[in-house]
Structure 1
Amino acid sequence: MSAKTVTTVFAHGAWADESSWDKVVRLLQSNDIKAVTFRLPLSSLSDDTAELDKVLERIHGPVVLVGHAYAGAVIASTHSAKVRALVYVAGLAPDQGETVADVFYRYEHDDKAPKLAPDSDGLIRLPAEAFSSAFAQHATPQEQQALAAAQLPISPACITVPVGLPLWKRVPAWYLLAEQDHMIPERTQRFMAERMQARISAYPVDHMPSVTAPELVASVIVDAVKQSKV
């Protein structure tokens, strides 16, 4: 499959937005790989999947889906026949009948992980200080501040509903495993990646390598694009 015929579509995770992919997108575009980013409503897993499906409807030709963290569940929930590969960036990959929360809390988090609970409006937000201690500890202070300012809260409805048959059971998956992730434990990521039989690339990066190590993220995506078959 020629890289020029493929479109890479990026789904951001909780407490981020589509701008979190900007560095990776620029790298792919410099290699003549098409890229599309979009914003998830983070209101429910079904809403987020519907938003992804709308994006996929507008794309002609094969697609490689890229999902960060929570969005791993989103990219595996579409049934679009255009998808040729899935790329997980520290992504969550519940199996059929599991919830996102089930896999997120499968193994114990370390003491740098923030405590998460809904606010008075029922949405889960990340404490501002967590962006420097757990979410993107390898980012610059300016990047951490920008991430905190742009964060999008997530609804419990995104993470408490069991998923259907995930797409990773039908299409190949790649997994960037973040070894210094304080949001999703390395052990949890490895369990999910191995269960999917994904092609694993493990690096000493934080939870947001799209910001702090974009070259590594881009290299995994390029590999998925080149090796996926139409």
Structure 2
Amino acid sequence: MNGRPNIVLVHGAWADGSCWAGVVERLQTDGYHVTAPQFPLTSMADDVARLRQVLTLQDGPTIVAGHSYGGHIMTALGTDAPNVSGLAYIAAFGLDQGESLAALLSQGPTPPALAHVFTDQQGFMWQPQDDFIQHFAADVDPVRAKVMHAAQQPIAGAIFSEAMGVPAWKALPSWYLVATQDQAIPPEAQRMFASRMSATTSEVPASHVAMVSHPDEAAQLIKAAAEARTALPAGQARR
């Protein structure tokens, strides 16, 4: 330990840990210990279990940063979040108790990035290539976006109906990076998440994959969370 919190990065649906590459490079250059594991995306319980597994390997306080559904995973840690001293949301879901992804997404028109998602025979949902390039990763070089699409991990459709328990953000300080050109999670929904969790909020003119197209801004938000929580005990509440 160098006195700074560890950082665990949580990817979302239709992605894997490599989506954090630019952020990892910047955080490591600044001396942070970073872990960007793979999540199964088979159920919320399985994904939370993987996050807890990774958290037990951290030597001391840890900032958890999540993108998209990754925010849902870390929110589901609840009030029992070992080693966690802060949460950083990157264009991510931050649901409250009793809410589900399906109910939230049904409140408005289907976002362009989700309009043609299809489900396979095993109940897993996939992104078609055109929508991934044009909407999901709209501000990423198309060649790179095509590679990202090839590496996508599908998500179990049943996850969308699972209700959130007591959210971790009610017990931990939060930071939020709003992607103002997001075509998967509407920016106004992101601002709502950030507002009700009293998050320290920044905005960036990015597509849904803000950590890929704007790694400097994403890394800076995570570093701000880490610097604010340096030398504070893990699990310390905001109030």
Give the TM-score range, shorter chain. over 0.9
Match for 1:67: what amino acid?
G
Q: CA deviation at 1:121?
A: 2.5
Number of aligned residue pairs: 229
**Cα distance between partner residues in 2 of 1:141 and 1:180:** 17
Match for 1:35: what amino acid?
V
Question: What secondary structure does 1:164 align onto?
Answer: coil
Whether the 8 Å CA contact 1:63–1:82 is kept in 2: the answer is yes
**Partner of residue 211, structure 1:** 212
Unaligned runs of 5+ in 2: 234-239
Match for 1:44: what amino acid?
S
Q: CA deviation at 1:102?
A: 2.4
**Partner of residue 124, structure 1:** 125
> Aligned-residue CA RMSD in angstroms?
1.6
Q: CA deviation at 1:173?
A: 0.6
**Cα distance between partner residues in 2 of 1:9 and 1:57:** 11
Question: What secondary structure does 1:107 align onto?
Answer: coil
**TM-score, normalising length from structure 1?**
0.94
Identity, in percent, stands at 34
In the TM superposition, what whole-angstrom CA distance separates every residue of 1:136-187 from its partner, at most 9, and x where no partner exists?
Answer: 1111122111111000000022221111101100001100000000011111
Instruction: Please show how residues 56-95 of structure 1 align to structure 2 within 5 Å.
Output: 56-78=55-77, 79-95=80-96
**Cα distance between partner residues in 1 of 2:159 and 2:112:** 25
Cα distance change of structure 1 residues 58 and 107 upon mapping to structure 2, 3 Å threshold = same
**Cα distance between partner residues in 1 of 2:192 and 2:2:** 30
Q: CA deviation at 1:71?
A: 1.1
Whether the 8 Å CA contact 2:179–2:204 is kept in 1: the answer is yes
**TM-score, normalising length from structure 2?**
0.91
Unaligned runs of 5+ in 1: none
Q: CA deviation at 1:117?
A: 4.1
**Cα distance between partner residues in 2 of 1:13 and 1:130:** 17
Structure 1 stretch displaced more, 42-51 or 69-78: 69-78
Whether the 8 Å CA contact 1:92–1:103 is kept in 2: the answer is no
**Partner of residue 142, structure 1:** 143
Match for 1:207: what amino acid?
H
Q: CA deviation at 1:112?
A: 5.8
Whether the 8 Å CA contact 2:126–2:155 is kept in 1: the answer is yes
Whether the 8 Å CA contact 2:72–2:95 is kept in 1: the answer is yes
In the TM superposition, what whole-angstrom CA distance separates every residue of 1:172-230 from its partner, at most 9, and x where no partner exists?
Answer: 11000000000111111111111111111111111011111100000100100011233
